[in-house]
Homo-oligomer: A and B are copies of this chain.
């Protein structure tokens, strides 16, 4: 029977928890203050750590942000339900918006925009950004991919949906009060009805 020593944690565990807290705090700062006003002091303060801890695990802010975006990718990559057999565009839009709607998605947007303005940061974040954008692409579903190859109109509709939901997410990120929810629903409903029309026309396989 293990004794009740308060320090029964392995080094790897301690590192993992510390890094996790730093990452969570960084995401929170990006959501609350945006990239421009996010500082390592505030991050460490929120994480309940000192800047020494941060600097022990990360060489600098770029390394931290890179790890943060990688972690965000993992969070957004996991699907909530198994819908591989549903190749409808409607489902793709629904799931995409469900992800962009989440508050942490603002952190993704902030890092994405910052990476474009800072070449050095951009180089570091490029892989994670590429993987993130792949999450919202329809090619993950082979059956839907075939439909897209066959029908250019479907591609256009998908892209319209992507750009519009990005726009909605941006507006949501900038005014977190729920005042714009009606606005969002109007756009979403229209997009979904357009997608349904296309899906029905092409006989998409639905569950």
Binding site for B on A (CB under 8 A): 33-37, 112-114, 116-118, 152-153, 155-157, 159-160, 162-168, 170-171, 173-175, 183, 186-187, 189-191, 194
Contact = CB atoms under 8 A, between A and B. Distances in A.
B37 A117 contact: yes
A113 B116 contact: no
A11 to B, nearest CB: 36
14 contacts: A34-B116, A34-B117, A37-B118, A113-B170, A113-B174, A116-B174, A153-B190, A156-B190, A159-B183, A160-B160, A162-B167, A163-B167, A163-B187, A170-B170
Task: Please classify the interface of chain A as helix (H, G, I), strand (E, B), loop, or mixed, using the class held by over half of its residues.
Answer: helix
Given A163-B164, A168-B163, A156 B113 contact: no
Contacts of A153: 190
Interface centre among A34, A160, A162 (most CB of B within 10 A): A160
